Structure 1
């Protein structure tokens, strides 16, 4: 690895210098292993900073060493180490990748510590600083020392990445493999190679290119955020200059129309709920992410057409901040819309808002009443809740156990069929690349590549999730998808049993897909419905009780 190679080179130089100047009249033993000598007036770097970061003394060389050390890429505790100033992101269709936007300040005001890979951008300045270091430590006649160090630096800054790519057998220009190689370099803490690959990748991506180029643009920003340890700030910054709420709503609507993923989830869940409500006079739906409430329009229509008349309907909607912003207001907007629509169809409907996140919900917040047939809806929501790998509270399983105590007639689950929850970084990166390649390809067949609407929809509705999965860890990583097999285990442990989906649901979805590309695939397996693009399953829907 370059870092190990650099330590060896500098160490060898130090040993050579120690032997050459053992009897230097201004040198004294350091007492360290190897019997190194330093000038009598030399002051160690760590003594130049107080515990509050205040510089002590006026030694120019020592001050430079504080910010530019050859032997360590980590910051010294308590020192005013130089940091990269972070930039937050906006995206422009005229650039090859997302660009920095200084108008939006991040909460995280630091990046990676200065390391050997960023000693100086000016070669002449580098030579000057090395000469000062050489003169102070070794005397005025050691040009070979500078040449040795410069040679090592040049080797690591230019040759190592190329050799590293060749060793990985990655053809130059292969965007997918270069993205994966960059992720592997970061995982191995090979930041010098990672930085070089990021520079290469920026020349290969474009928000108006083919699907892998567009996806690559957002994945590169995720890699940059992870490399600079500003993942959480970049993730938040993607919302720092969100478009007006009406525009954001229109971007969501674009994805809703051009891809069948949301319609598939809503129709399949509604089919399971309608089946459970047969013959019931009072029904209650708890939606843990109600968003705009669009899912319930078709169900209200179905209940209105039910023989014998519609039941009395209550809907409890749990809010989320993104939907609230897109709506331009609180849940009262959703409540008015649904009650007015139901009234126009002769369906009595009450709406109960629960203005809190799903992880905060308690039984008393749901207002369940005796005599109601209860249905619970988890559509694209549960993967946002932290599980046992993030927090000992384990809200993911806690919520399922709480819902089970309500004795619902049906629980509808719709989730992305992807494995990014507890996967290590590189497998998670590869999974994200595979999953969203299929998503971007499916968008590509509907909207032209130079479409401003498509660029905005991908930027504002997909990019933030991608960056979060790549750049963030721990509680800050909120996009934590699991495969159906894992969801099945969680529901079973909470006491639920699977409910077969009605054949009518399958037929309805098949009819829906006739309006879209022939590359969409519908598969019923083990009591669940899978919607995919070509050979990649993307969304799964199932029911429990």
Structure 2
């Protein structure tokens, strides 16, 4: 028997670094405290693999690879790829070790850009590869069978499809790096030139094997970028770009956009003018109602999962209220509020007023949304009021702009709102103070579940690589290959996001997602307490996922009291409920 829901049927068819970032994932002694960061951890990748620049035979043999269906490792490139963790570096290892700890210790400290300094070679231990190791250890393939190991998402413990997902390809590539790192020392480098790569491709198809090696070339290039060996990084990028395409399979497309980002990073670091194809304001585009955002909403399940589960939570909170006031900070189409209206219209308890205060920066868009909602409310006889709250800067937002009534039950809705203010801590804190002064009965928060705010290049690169691999794999399932919207989504939204995370620094780096554990620590500063989801809310989320083709690959799990929506076991969005205590 399904849980009793108020609306069982649904139809959705229709840092700035110099100023200091309020949220940063790095290890400190006290959560929320300001601590100094070890300057040695700001270095590049170190030497993730052997010195490709010294062993050019791999590059000269690339023409042979084009002519014969052999693996790249047959030509001595990856056979000679030991990770030199003693003498040759590894700021990478230290970075990964720190980030592995951060998975369990979220912190909130102002962002501090690392000072410019000469790169130092420092010895660290092999366990410093924990971040890649954490990803790689989730996957194991034996005798042609696929098993997901140590998967934190219990709802998805077995991969039934015989083909590896895009993320799993990344894990295998990472595992090959780890195996080499743990078995080869710098003194073994000459002998590695004549021996095959130890980790075989047994059980992988030819396409999967080529994809794994392509990702390894990408990782090698990123390693050289992190170690400021830009000419060697360019050579590896040249090779990657010959093997990948923005029209290829998901792995090739992911590598294509990360190659673009790395090349842009190199140009910035070496003072070359960056190539700007066109001006695209990703943040603005994501806040507006456009063809791409609507297609994502209708074809990809994550947003609908969060919206229906969140609206169900609001419905339950205002079940006995005569006056309901929703404050939507960055209203878009407003389609989710038609669902709430229907629920309010069908309840037995009389409703005196349903009011929406919509915060926005584009008056025309907010007006159009308001007119549409007013028209809808009339068709179902819901007493409705729509108020626009226009602010050009979130610092100007004040609680007296919302015309609060002490008889109202107030809910605040934050759907991908806070992430845009992570690089602007003053604005983020200002908004949180306003919400605290309003003291709503419920605050609904939807955010991206990813760590893209680290000041360490290697951390951002690896986290972004796995995160976007999941999204490219998902898009491959839900959108046709020749769909022009898919092309725009990947090139403009995903491509711009990857480039911003990987290639930029300082205030230009605006894409700074953080995970729910970091938000928890942040909300605790304002006296907020996380609330449980009801079985009805969870049931709504499950209904939405099953309404999509391949819905079984869409996973819904819990991190404490937070709902995580993901793809094949990897979370990509979080939904959480909060109240003030």
TM-score under structure 2 normalisation? 0.59
Hey, what does 1:523 align to over in structure 2?
557
Task: Say if 2:365 is the partner of 1:330.
Answer: yes
Is residue 179–residue 201 contact of structure 1 (8 Å, CA) maintained in 2?
yes
Superposition map of 1:67-466 within 5 A? 174-229=213-268, 237-239=278-280, 249-319=290-360, 329-356=364-391, 357-386=393-422, 390=423, 393-466=425-498
Mapped to 2, the partners of 1:488 and 1:467 lie a distance apart of 28
What is the count of residue pairs matched by the alignment? 374
What is the SS of the residue equivalent to 2:438? coil
| Change in 2 beyond 3 A, CA 1:256/1:233 | farther
Contact 1:413 1:542 survives alignment (8 Å): yes
Against the structure 1 CA distance between its residues 442 and 284, is the aligned structure 2 distance closer, same or farther, given a 3 Å change threshold?
A: same
| 1:153-172 superposed Cα distances (whole Å, 9 cap, x missing partner) | xxxxxxxxxx9xx9999998
Distance 2:272 2:405 in 1: 44
Retained in 2: the 8 A contact 1:251–1:460?
no
CA distance in 1, matches of 2:537, 2:321: 20
Question: Hey, what's the Cα distance between the residues in 1 that align with 2:331 and 2:511?
Answer: 18
Q: How far apart, in 2, do the equivalents of 1:360 and 1:206 lie?
A: 45
Q: SS at 2:372's partner residue? A: helix
C-alpha deviation, 1:484, in angstroms: 0.9
Deviation digits for residues 207-259 of structure 1, max 9, x if unmatched? 222112222222222222222229998789442799999x9722222111221
Q: Alpha carbons of 1:358 and 1:200: their partners in 2 closer, same or farther (altered >3 Å)? A: farther
Q: Which runs of 4+ in 1 moved over 6 A?
A: 166-173, 230-236, 240-245
Contact 1:251 1:461 in 2 (8 A): no
| CA deviation vs aligned residue, 1:504-533 (integer Å, no higher than 9, x gap) | 011111111112311111113411211111
Give the distance between the partners of 1:377 and 1:469, measured in 2 at CA: 27
Task: State the secondary structure of the residue aligned to 2:245.
Answer: coil
Q: Distance in 2 between matches of 1:320 and 1:187?
A: 39
Q: Would you say the 8 A contact 1:397–1:490 is kept in 2?
A: no
Contact in 1 for aligned 2:345/2:381 (Cα 8 Å) = yes
**What residue ranges of structure 2 are gaps of 5+ in the alignment?**
1-45, 52-192, 201-208
Change (3 A) 1:539 1:172: closer
| Equivalent-residue separation in structure 2 for 1:359 and 1:168 (angstroms) | 57
1:489 paired with 2:560, answer: no
Q: Which has the higher contact order (CA 8 A, sep 6+)?
A: 2
**RMSD after superposition:** 3.5
Deviation at 1:262, TM superposition (A): 0.8
**What SS class does the counterpart of residue 243 from structure 2 fall into?**
coil
Unaligned runs of 5+ in 1: 6-162
- Find the counterpart in structure 1 of residue 118 from structure 2: none
Tell me how far apart the structure 2 counterparts of residues 232 and 417 of structure 1 sit (CA, whole Å).
33
Separation in 2, partners of 1:482, 1:352: 31
1:60 aligned residue:
none
Distance, in Å, in 1 between the alignment partners of 2:291 and 2:524 is 38
In 2, the alpha carbon distance for the partners of 1:183 and 1:459 equals 20
Q: Distance in 2 between matches of 1:425 and 1:369?
A: 48
Q: TM-score by structure 1 length?
A: 0.62
SS of structure 1 residue aligned to 2:340? helix
Q: Is the 8 A contact 1:523 1:530 kept in 2?
A: yes
Shift of 1:495: 0.5
Aligned partners of 1:301, 1:231: CA distance in 2, in Å? 57
Name which of 487, 490, 512 aligns with 2:544. 512
Quote how far apart the aligned CAs of 1:384 are.
Answer: 1.1
Equivalent residue, structure 2, for 1:468: 500
| 1:303 and 1:311 in contact (8 A); partners too | no
Q: Deviations over 1:356-379 (max 9, x none)?
A: 354542333333333221111111
- Correspondence for 1:498 among 518, 521, 530: 530
Q: In structure 2, do the counterparts of structure 1 residues 241 and 440 end up closer, same or farther at CA, with 3 Å as the change threshold?
A: closer
Cα pair 1:447 1:454 within 8 Å, conserved: yes
Q: Deviations over 1:288-333 (max 9, x none)?
A: 1212212212112211212133341121222257xx8xxxx43111
Structure showing greater radius of gyration is 1
The whole-number CA distance in structure 1 between the counterparts of 2:371 and 2:429 is: 33
